[in-house]
Structure 1
Amino acid sequence: MNIKYDQLCIRNAEKKDCEQLAKWWNDGKVMAHAGFPNGLGTTATEIEKQIVNDSDETRRRLMIVYKNTLIGEMSFYVYENAKYEIGIKICEFDYQEKGLGKIVLSMLIEELFHMGAQLIFLDTNLNNTRAQHVYEKLGFKRIAIHCDSWKNQLGELQSTVDYELTKGDFCNFKNR
């Protein structure tokens, strides 16, 4: 995958990206929202072993590039009946809250529907209201809340919210 729009690019993660991914994944500030305030404790070698098996038919780790700078990552997982789960992290804090998330999500979602997705879904921490606002602007529908359903690395109970998106509900911010 190599999707370009304006000064943004979403491309497949490659071996050369593994050091950067390890840096982000081991940073508790970047990973706290995902339940890992101490980071993942992973290595570039371990990440490389994961991405070598990526494919558009199963799962794919993607890099977000803005003005030739790596700013974050995305992923998608393919399930039965053309259902796709997605994830996103703008990992570089200087690029958060600039409107880039809804544009790169639009780029990815548009491509996944073009690839045959019938339903796109995701979940997020219930406390992550900024992300929920973006997902709802894109047309995602809140389908469930799971209160105190898991514990983060510090043993603190966390709640999540599930979202789903169909092609007919998609509001594409790429073209605005």
Structure 2
Amino acid sequence: MKPGSCACWKKGARSLIRRSDGLALRPASEQGAALLCRWWNDGAVMAHAGFPQRLGTTVEEVAAQLKADASSHRLLLLEDGCPVGEAVWRLAEEKGAAEIGIKPCVPSARGRGSGTQYLHRPLRYLFGPGGFALITLTTAEENRRARHVYEKLGFVQTAVFLFQTSQMPQACKALEYRLKKETYAALWGQVF
């Protein structure tokens, strides 16, 4: 699919990384607020994040958040130029650490192994030019597909805790994962 053939693609947008596999990431800008808003207001997309009834946000609120939050770096996952999901990374509380998250939002983008490839890109950046020594993430215990991807990349589960949102009838278990730069380099080679 060519960039111009995707209704979500804005003229002039550029990917951070382009590869022959058709997968890329690009920064989410204010122009992407409508797309993010649509995803965030879809309970099926947001259920794993604890919001099965959707976030209930507006395009204006999403655009303002993208513009104002300099500590968070939100990316769109692209397949053949068309957005299929989102990723985010931000500074973690621990010195030298970043926190990362990924969410395939289009059902056809799930379960095909592309999550691993999408995650390699920000991991290489964060461990390389980003200068981080540790990457952390959190996922729901029930999210077995995501856990498989994280463990395949070298993430190690380090904590279990309960989380609950106002939309959840009961608390669920969440798992914290951590990946050290040395572990990633040993598994995947010096790519930074």
TM-score, length of structure 1 as denominator length: 0.91
Displacement of 1:151 = 4.3
Q: Does 1:65 align with 2:94?
A: no
Unaligned runs of 5+ in 2: 1-14
Say if 1:105 and 1:75 are closer, same or farther in 2 by CA, change over 3 A.
same
Partner of 1:100: 114
Displacement of 1:157 = 1.6
How far apart, in 2, do the equivalents of 1:144 and 1:30 lie?
A: 25
| Larger Rg, first or second structure (1 or 2) | 2
Contact 2:51 2:165 in 1 (8 A): no
| Identity, % of aligned positions | 36
How far apart, in 2, do the equivalents of 1:81 and 1:149 lie?
A: 24
The correspondence of residues 1-176 of structure 1 with structure 2, limited to 5 A, is 2-6=16-20, 7-55=22-70, 58-79=71-92, 80-114=94-128, 115-146=130-161, 148-151=162-165, 153-170=167-184, 171-172=187-188
- What is the aligned length? 171
Contact 2:33 2:63 in 1 (8 A): yes
After superposition, the C-alpha distances for 1:50-94 in whole angstroms (9 at most, x for unaligned) are: 111344xx2211111110110000000113522100010000001
TM-score, length of structure 2 as denominator length: 0.83
SS in 2 for 1:5: coil
- Whose strand proportion is higher, 1 or 2? 1
How far apart, in 1, do the equivalents of 2:33 and 2:147 lie?
A: 28
SS in 2 for 1:2: coil
Unaligned runs of 5+ in 1: none
Displacement of 1:169 = 1.3
